[in-house]
Structure 1
C-alpha cells in the first residue's frame, strides 16, 4: 500500500481581526508543515469551516460573543473529534484552564501570545497528530493485509497439508507448531488426524481430462458436505492427484469408525447417482502428525492392492491379510508406492527414516536385517515385474546372492540398500528419457485394440493395477488422462487410414472402435477442426 505524508490544516478562531492576522503572519506555518491556515471570527464561522475542511489544529480564543470557545470545544468533540485545540485567553483564571483541559484541550496560552511559545506548542501538537496519523496508517495497512490473510487462509491451510503429505516439511512438533502459529490454523500440533482416501474408480461416461478435473472438484465438494460436514477438517487433492478428507481435533471430538463408515457409504451412493462415478473410501485410523504420512501411504498401498472390492467403504486394515502376503515388513508397502510414483527423493527420505529407527533400536539383530533384506528384494522384484523387467536387467548377479554378507552390520546394510534403490530407480525411470515398461505395456495394449471398446478396468487388469491407481500413474507419466490418450490414438489411426487408404468412412470408424458414424465425425472434428471427409479432401489436394 502507498504511504504519504499529508500536510496539516490550522483554524484560527478569534473575534478580533488583528488577533487573527497576528497569528497568521507571526508564525512560519510552511516550515511547520502546515499548508492551510483558515480563519473564523466567531463559533458559527468556525463550525462552518470544520464542516467543509479537514482541520487538524484549532487555535481558539475562549471569550467570544454568543458562543464561547469552551462551548465550541464541546461541539468539536462530537463533530470533529480528530481536531486538536489550543486555547488563547486574556484572563489568567485557573478555572478556565481547568475546564479547557477537562474538555480535552491540548494546551492553554495567555494573551498577548508570544509567538516563540506558540510555535513550540504547535510543534508538540503536530507531533502528536503525526504520531496518531502513523498509528492510523499502520492500523489501515494491518487491517488491509489481515483481511487478505483471512481471505487466503484456506489456501494456506491447503498448502500446509500439501507440504506435510509430500514431505516438504518435517512432521516434528516444533516445525508443525511454528507453521500452525504462523498460518493461524484452527488446530494444534498435538491433535489427532483421521485421513480418508477418496479413490475414483470409474466414470460412467466418456469424459476428457479437463472434465475429469472439474468432476473431481465437484466430488471433493460433495465430500466436504457429506463426509466432513460441520466437523473440523479439510478436503483436498495432494500433489500426486490423490483426493483426501482429513479430520483433525482431540480424539474425543473425532468421528467414530462406525460414523465414518456410514457417511462414506452415503457419499458413495450420492456419487453413483449424481456424479455418475464409482468411488471407494479407504478409511484410516486417527494418527498424530508424526504418523500421518505413514497412515496415508498405507491407505494408498491398500488402494493399489485392491483389485476386487470396488465402489466400497474399506476400513483401515481390511485388506491387511492380502497385503501381508505381498510384504512381510510394513514399511516395504510405502517404498513400493513411492517406486510406482517415481519419487526418487521420497524413497530416499523413507530410507532415512527407516535407518534412523534401526540405528536407535537397542535390540537390533541380524535376523531383523535379514528380514528387511528379503523384503526389499521382494519389493524390487515386484516393481520390475510390473514393468516387464527382471532384476538382471539392472543388477549384477552378485547384488542379491548373499544376504548374510550385506547384513553383517547396519552401516554395511544401509550402504547396500541405498545403492540398489538408486540403481533400481535409475533403471525404472530411465532418468525421465524413456517411457517406463509399464507405460509401454499400457500403450501397446491400447494401440492393439483401437477397434474395441477398451475400458480402464480391462487395461488395469492387464497390468495388474487397481483402476484408480492406474489412472493417476498414467496421467502423472504421460501428462494426459487415459481417456484423452485413447481418443487421441483413435483419431491418429483414423487420420492415417484416411491418408493412405480408400476405405469407407464407416469402415474407418469401425476400425477405430466407433459404430456410430456421426459420433465418430463429431469426435474427429473436435480433435482436428474438420470432418473426416474434409480431412481426406485436404490430404488429397496436397
Structure 2
C-alpha cells in the first residue's frame, strides 16, 4: 500500500511525510511529488492507495489531479491539505469524493486521524472489491459445474436414480434441491456445422451466450450444454414458464437471432416437463425426433404434437432405369438436374425419413456401379474404393447433404469414365509422370490411381504399349537418368543414386550393371 504526497512546498511535503512515517499507519512507500507532472508520472507506474495533496500548485491544481484519477477509474483515497478554505474548493473536492479536507497548519493528531480513516476506507473498498470478484468467480464456476453435471447426466455417467442424483449434486457442491424441480428440455440442432466459415469454438461461444440470454430469466443459472458438434440442450426450469411461452420464444428465435448465423437450426421441445430422474429418457426422445427429421430446417418441433405418422414416409419409387440411361449416354448434367428436382420434391413433401434417404443412397450407388462396370470394368474397383470414402451417415442425415453427395459422386464418375476411356493417353501420362518424378517412390498402385485403372490392368496395358513391364520401365528410366548425370556432372555416385530414386547404393549398382554391363564408377571411367 503506497502513499503519495503532492505539495509544491518542499518542507511542507517532507514534514507531512516524516510525521506519517513515524507515527502513522505502515505504508510500503511514501513518495513526495512537488508538482502535477511528477504526481502523474508516479501514478502512471505505481498503485497508490492514499494521496494527500494541495489545491493550488504550479502546472495544475490538486482538484484537476483528483479529477484525472477519477476519470482513470482509480480507487485512490484522497485527502486535501491546503491553506485555502474557499467553499467552492471544498464543494468540488467533495463532489470528486475526496475523504477529507484539512487546513494548514494542521495539528499532527488531526493529520494522523485523517490518514488512519483513509486507510480504513481503502481496506474496506479493497475487501468489497475482492468479495465481488470472488462472487463473480463462483458464479462462473457454478455455471461450469452445472453444465458438467448435466452433460454427465445426459451421457449416463450419473445415474438417473433420484438418491444418486442428490448424492452427486452434494458431492459437486451444487444445490440438491434441483433434484425436486421440473424442467422443460429444449434441444437445439445446428445444421451444416462442417461448412461454417468461422472457427467452431467461436461459433459455440457465440451460440451459447446468445441462447443463455435469450431463453433464461436473469435469476436462473443459464445452463447450455453442447452434447456434440450438432446438438445443444437447455434444461429450463418449468417454474415461471410455460410450454406455450417456450414454443413462442423458439418461433421468435427463428427471426431474432437464427438469421445472424451462417447455418440453419431446429428447435425440439419436450412434450411435458420432467424431473431430473426422467431427464435421460426425455432427452433421448428429443434426439430420436431430430434423427428422424431429414427435410425440415429452421423449424420448431413440439413433441406434444409430433407423431411417427408425421414422418413415417411412404415407399418412394426410384427411377433407376432412367438414371442408368443418362449415365450410359454420358448426360451427367441432365442426371444431376433430375436428381435435384427429385430430392426437392421429397424435401417439400415433409413425409420422408432417414430410411427414405438411405434407400435412395444405395439405389443410386448401385446404379453408378452397374454403369461403371458396363462402361469400363477396369475402372470399377478404383471407383468403388474412392466412393467408399464418403460417409453414409453424413450423406443420409439430410436432403441437402444427400444432394451434395450426389453432386460429388457424379463428378467422380465422370472423371473416372473420361480418363479411363482413353487408354493410349493413360500410358503417355504415366510415362511423362515417371520421367519427371524419378526421385519419388513410384508404385503400381499410385500410378494406376492417376489414370483410374487397376494396377494389374495398367501393367498389362503398359507392357502391350511399350514392351516393358511397369516396374522395369521405372528402373530403366532411372538408369538412363543416372547415365546422363554420371557423364555430365561431377556429383558423387551416392548422390546420383538418391536423385534417381535409389535409396540403396548396392541395389543401384546391381541394377546399373544389369542394364549397362558395367558399374557406375566404370561407366564414369
Q: TM-score scaled to structure 2, two decimals? A: 0.38
TM-score, scaled relative to structure 1: 0.37
Please tell me whether Structure 1 or Structure 2 has the larger radius of gyration of its CA atoms.
2
Give the structure, 1 or 2, with the largest relative contact order (CA under 8 Å, sep 6 or more): 1
